[in-house]
Amino acid sequence: MTPPVALITGSAHRLGARTARLLHDRGWNLIIHYRSREGQALDLAETMNQQRQSSAVALQADLSQMPDVKRLGDLAVAHWGRLDALVNNASVFYPTPTPDVTGNDWDTIMHTNLKAPFFLLQACLPALKKHTGSVVNLIDIYSERPLPEHPLYCASKAGLAALTRAWARDLAPEVRVNGVSPGAILWPEGEAAIDTEYQNSILDKTPLRRAGTPDDIAGTIVFLLMDAPFITGQILTVDGGRSLNI
């Protein structure tokens, strides 16, 4: 019998990769999605396949392009002929001060962070229903308490939070849908990087006085997929208590 199968978007590195590894350790087969990190995705799939033969595959798709989104969903379902979980982890994050926002910024962030999860679930829905599947969306504490100069990112995550609750109602009882809202886990990279002083100011507002780890998020996602059969429509905040003080 084919083990349960999960598609995790943006799973070549960071939180997505840790979640993929943890699910693989629990006996799942993995669809590792990537946009540009081909080498990391292929290396991760190869490592998994060495541990357990034919248990992982890497698929490329640009989630800002709708034909790619549908192709990813179709290929993910077809590879093992089933899909038991979808984790919408991939997202775009960079500053978008309102006076400077362009139509391209809007399309890039909204398509990747909000539109793609919607239509990817649509493509995967028959398979998820057939196998009483589960969906976990990666939200953000900034969906409720906006981060300055990031209105598009915050709006996209607030929209994904709303979809999480709407889907939980609409897709029950066949499919459960939940969200995970991380706090300070891994600091942003590239143009979205923040300086040490700001990092420390965030940790000062966190009751546990430290950043979390990728395992904190991956473990919560796996819990919702595997160990929470009576939980749906919930968004679990994993932030060390920071949302109490933000």
Residue where the block lists tokens 């500053």: 95
Cα–Cα–Cα angle for 220, 138, 46, nearest 5°? Answer: 75
Cα–Cα–Cα angle for 181, 186, 190, nearest 5°? Answer: 115
CA 114 from centroid of its chain's CA atoms:
11
Interatomic CA distance for residues 16 and 127, integer angstroms: 22
Q: How many helices (H) and strands (E) does the chain have?
A: 8, 7
* Given the residues 94, 142, 153, 198, the one annotated as active site: 153
Active site (annotated) includes residue 153 = yes
Interatomic CA distance for residues 77 and 84, integer angstroms: 9
Strand ranges, E, within 94-159: 134-138
Residues assigned a catalytic role: 153
